[in-house]
Amino acid sequence: MAQIIVNGEKQEVTLPLTVSGLIQLNNIAQPEMVSVQVNEEFLDRDYFATTELKENDEVDFLYFMGGGQF
């Protein structure tokens, strides 16, 4: 088991684990709309399936909401 930080909380995971696998493991809503930061760097969606996480990595799942004027 390895420990990573997901959205500010410690999480135990089994390595090897890709970003795509972590998205599935955490049942992320609307995975096609989520942006991911690994160690404070945005990860291109094309690399979700091939980027393997390491012990102590920090991962953030982010949703960007558009806004407008009233």
Longest dimension (CA), the chain: 50
Q: Specify the pTM.
A: 0.90
SS3 50: coil
Q: One-letter amino acid identity for 63?
A: Y
Instruction: Tell me what pLDDT residue 68 has.
Output: 65
Instruction: Tell me what pLDDT residue 31 has.
Output: 94
Instruction: Tell me what pLDDT residue 66 has.
Output: 73
Instruction: Tell me what pLDDT residue 64 has.
Output: 82
pLDDT along the chain (70 residues), means of 10: 97 98 96 96 98 98 78
